[in-house]
Structure 1
């Protein structure tokens, strides 16, 4: 959400250009003009010796290096992203470092940045962990620590992130790492720790930039206390902290959360009057989404047209928002128009792009179009992300098309896709709707058996349906199998699950 603002855009120093040896410049070989006499044998020998000297200079590898095809960071990124045979990231990096070319910090930070962009947080963290183990080669700055702290929270949880922060040397506990910790607490919706960390940043003189105020404003909107966002903007004005586009966008959202349409317009007009801020597509998509909530559909469409004018050929996110918001306006022709423009703008369409359009078409009820798009994705994709397939699978499940759901999942597995736990539960839900309880239980067991960092837990409604059925049929064996699923996912100690288990107490027998 706000992570891309947590640190300067330059995580590491710019990658230096390869240096070319200049020793050859010291050797000058003069060729005789056509009018000159033929060189004597001694002068010919001198020329030959000079030529050999040039050859010796270039034999250090300069010519070979220049002829060798460049090994770009993206080549290594692809190996890391696809897993390269299921090997750990550290092993992939070590093999590359030893066998291909010695890695530098710029490449590794660039790879981690790309992984974060596509929400591959676990892989990005492994890249940073690998660098951390080699700090003599890769000295990490406070900005690097801020990124790593955020990744630890996303992958391992808030307690591990807190421990990571506590172990940082005092010089690295600056506004960047404190800002990252603030964002961790805010995203976890931990009110007391968020407010206490912000107050500590105030006392240390770290609350002088826009970012921590934006995090706090966004936090209040997320915890449904939007009225407090204006108190934050009041403090910013008092302290002469400059607003940015993000500040205004969050402020607009807070007005919308309070159903204050006039307030939205007032904040927007204040932003237009602020000469230090230039409104971009995010402002207009934010306004459009709020107008959709207020059912001001005409105003929403006007905002989307303004957002379109501000799109660039470098930002795919704008296209994602346009597609989603036009689908909420039930503008199917606009969704297809933006999608065609998207494909014409970018040579490569990643999984996320297909996911946005698939979701939009399902929302519009254009299932035929969604199925054609899914086939297009399946024929082109080299990375079978189950999130893409889950969109269509979930619709089949809701509508009771069990056979289609089974066929879609089977084909996905045949092509090399690896279903996630929620994929199997989507299928289990379809089975439950079709009263195929045995098949539903088997799907839940497959979900629990998936080895991943997923924190998946079965839906309470599905667990209750199965427990009630097994109790009614006095099917202790199946009930115990379900209990094994719950225990394997750490549900047995959760109060909500414990309540269900106690209600159907025979399942524990």
Structure 2
């Protein structure tokens, strides 16, 4: 607290001697000064995270772990200061490799040809998948329970119940479930968790919610806090945050605990709702819930996309509250540093991890290798890949799905072939995805198609995700005709075209130069199949219209982003302003629009605004024209 108040006054002299942790805390001033400068001008408009809800008995001198945590916070500060120029033009969002691997479906349902009559993609973006991996509804605990149950006869009941849920139309699901229970099937907690997990993995949130509503209405199970949190998560995904907040009031007060509120916080982070996330976080503090690594990670995830300069504030709070960083915290920081091309900062985070006794997992190593490749450090990238391989790649199969696309990014076709040899006898689904993507990156289209056909022979009923990887290969290589044929094939095979396929299809048409057609496809598919387009889909269209100087269509896509709840990111404002610049047209009232949306320009946007201001008409310019 003392350090933040001191940093909030950049004009105060820092020549005074400081002792203990005060000397350490002062190192966050570089970043805090930037935040202060902005807040002094927009204090009433900009709601800052209230991290002052600390214990009154808190004393800076009591922090015993400040030296080890200091280096992490210092690195984050540099992300806001040292790398700010690089960061200005970057698109927010996770790196591709940050999307977690999908585990095998419980009971290997995917291998059962009769298990699915209709495969659906769901309603959320790729970003949300990473969030789901750290979901606050404690489904990982449920999955652990199921691993034990899979060794028993419960596995058959789980698959049977899931098949009933998949086959039953929504209007008659209750009848189907009552019939299934009436036939003597057991419906306990393990069956419930198994069915909901399978539905979630397929993004069938509406069915999962209907199933939970039926369970609660019929009192088949006594809901605990985790169950209510799971239902809250589904309500938020389907109906939005306001309905989710209203649902909390219906949960029994005794079960309205920290897990429930952190679920709501996670959904605020997913939707980039900064102000609501801050309100939920502060309410959790007011209710006396402890500050956890999970809650802090949600804020880090949110600010990573929306306001990176506030990452240091969260890390400072974690230090003061003695919250130990999790592996996900480190992963976020590694990606933040790598994405702004601060390789030395990224390496310092890795050193800090190891000093704290935390070994980087495969996903962090893959992130590091990817950032090395993008920064042109090929030797360091190759060294990281060799470390990921270990002594024997056959004994380290889990690394293959990461290694394949990374070697392809380095242009090493021989290495891709060598790694695939460790997989080809009994390939896993995620390895098929990786090798198809890898061959696509290398331009070996026929090899990618061959792998896709082999995958389809092994798993005849695949979700759209597995078609999309080949669709993205076609888009990258501008193979419009082949992409269209693949989408038709998906439809024939019973796959519902959802937002992720729509995203790939839009990029396919955009790469072929048919931007208007891509725009039309996005709107028609979202209306026909009742889903919200992904943020990346809209941004792809906005960027391409802006490149043409097409103000009308750029404004249309910009409004579509707002209507779909995608607000709080500077990227869309930058793209829209670029449309005015390319059209050499003044953007009257643009600053006022941003202020109304609680958005404030960074250095990159300030330069854009200066450029577009030069197009303003004056009396003398009218005469000269």
With normalisation by structure 1, the TM-score equals: 0.67
Taking the TM superposition and a 5 Å limit, the aligned residue runs for 1:30-429 are: 72-76=156-160, 79=163, 83-84=166-167, 90-99=174-183, 101-134=185-218, 136-225=219-308, 227-275=309-357, 277-309=358-390, 319-342=400-423, 349-350=428-429, 353-396=431-474, 401-420=479-498
Name the SS of the counterpart of 1:10 in structure 2.
helix
Distance 2:284 2:484 in 1: 53
| Shift of residue 362, structure 1, vs aligned partner | 1.7
Provide, for residues 193-237 of structure 1, a one-character-per-residue CA deviation record: whole Å limited to 9, x for no partner.
222222222333323322111221222212241x43233223222
Q: 1:400 to 1:291 in 2, by over 3 A?
A: closer
Task: Tell me if structure 2 keeps the 8 A contact 1:73–1:111.
Answer: no
Distance 1:195 1:371 in 2: 47
| Shift of residue 176, structure 1, vs aligned partner | 0.9
Distance 1:176 1:442 in 2: 41
Provide, for residues 43-76 of structure 1, a one-character-per-residue CA deviation record: whole Å limited to 9, x for no partner.
xxxxxxxxxxxxxxxxxxxxxxxxx987624422
Task: Tell me if structure 2 keeps the 8 A contact 1:384–1:416.
Answer: no
Task: Tell me if structure 2 keeps the 8 A contact 1:13–1:106.
Answer: no
Name the SS of the counterpart of 1:202 in structure 2.
helix
Distance 2:441 2:541 in 1: 24
- Structure 1 match to 2:141: 10
Distance 1:274 1:180 in 2: 29
Distance 1:300 1:413 in 2: 40
| Shift of residue 272, structure 1, vs aligned partner | 0.8
The unaligned stretches of length 5 or more in structure 2 are 1-129, 546-555, 574-578, 580-625
Q: 1:114 to 1:341 in 2, by over 3 A?
A: farther
Distance 1:146 1:315 in 2: 36
The unaligned stretches of length 5 or more in structure 1 are 19-67, 467-482, 501-509
Task: Tell me if structure 2 keeps the 8 A contact 1:108–1:127.
Answer: no
Distance 1:243 1:424 in 2: 37
Distance 1:291 1:73 in 2: 47
Distance 1:465 1:246 in 2: 34
Name the SS of the counterpart of 2:234 in structure 1.
helix
Larger mean CA deviation between 295-304 and 214-223 belongs to: 295-304
Structure of greater Rg:
1
Task: Tell me if structure 2 keeps the 8 A contact 1:153–1:161.
Answer: yes
Task: Tell me if structure 1 keeps the 8 A contact 2:261–2:284.
Answer: yes
- Structure 2 match to 1:447: 525
| Shift of residue 300, structure 1, vs aligned partner | 2.2
Q: 1:391 to 1:265 in 2, by over 3 A?
A: closer
Distance 2:391 2:240 in 1: 37
Q: CA RMSD in A?
A: 4.6
| Shift of residue 245, structure 1, vs aligned partner | 1.6
* Higher RCO (CA 8 Å, separation ≥ 6 residues): 2
Name the SS of the counterpart of 2:349 in structure 1.
helix
Q: 1:118 to 1:13 in 2, by over 3 A?
A: closer
| Shift of residue 177, structure 1, vs aligned partner | 1.1
Give the number of equivalent residue pairs. Answer: 419
Larger mean CA deviation between 247-256 and 410-419 belongs to: 410-419
Distance 2:514 2:388 in 1: 47
With normalisation by structure 2, the TM-score equals: 0.56
Task: Tell me if structure 1 keeps the 8 A contact 2:137–2:233.
Answer: no
| Shift of residue 453, structure 1, vs aligned partner | 4.3
Provide, for residues 386-422 of structure 1, a one-character-per-residue CA deviation record: whole Å limited to 9, x for no partner.
3433443455466564543444344444444444477
| Shift of residue 189, structure 1, vs aligned partner | 0.9
Q: 1:231 to 1:362 in 2, by over 3 A?
A: same
Q: 1:426 to 1:271 in 2, by over 3 A?
A: closer
